[in-house]
Amino acid sequence: MYTDAAPDQAVAEFAELDRIERIGETRGHLLAHICAAVKALQNAARTLEQLRSNTIYDVEFVDGRDGHDVATFLDDSIRNTRAAYAVVHTVIDQETP
């Protein structure tokens, strides 16, 4: 007696393996993007420090609150982005046998 159950099951198993592989690749992309975001924010913070340094001394960023606010926002953003990276890593590590 011939039945289609075996080929259908094999197709379903291949589809599941493909889905698992796509999840792994996409998770890797997520980590890479978050890492790039942290690096970009760190570069922005360093550039702001240059603007606020005695060498360049951009009055708009040195005097008043704006420069301090931008520095605070960048520091908070770096901290939050690192936290997001850590959470994603935790999720991935929990899934990995």
pLDDT at position 14 is 85
Helix (H) or strand (E) holding 73: helix 66-95
Q: 2 in a domain, yes or no?
A: no
Q: 13 in a domain, yes or no?
A: no
C-alpha closest to that of 28 among 39, 36, 40: 36
Task: Give me the number of domains the chain comprises.
Answer: 1
When comparing pLDDT for 54 and 7, which is higher?
54
User: What is the domain range of residue 55?
Assistant: 22-95
Residue 37 burial (10 A CB sphere; 0-12, 13-18, 19+): middle
pLDDT digits (tens, 9 = 90+) for 15-36: 889 999 999 999 999 999 999 9
pLDDT digits (tens, 9 = 90+) for 43-87: 999 999 999 999 999 999 999 899 999 999 999 999 999 999 999
Question: Could you tell me the pTM of the whole model?
Answer: 0.82
Q: 17 in a domain, yes or no?
A: no
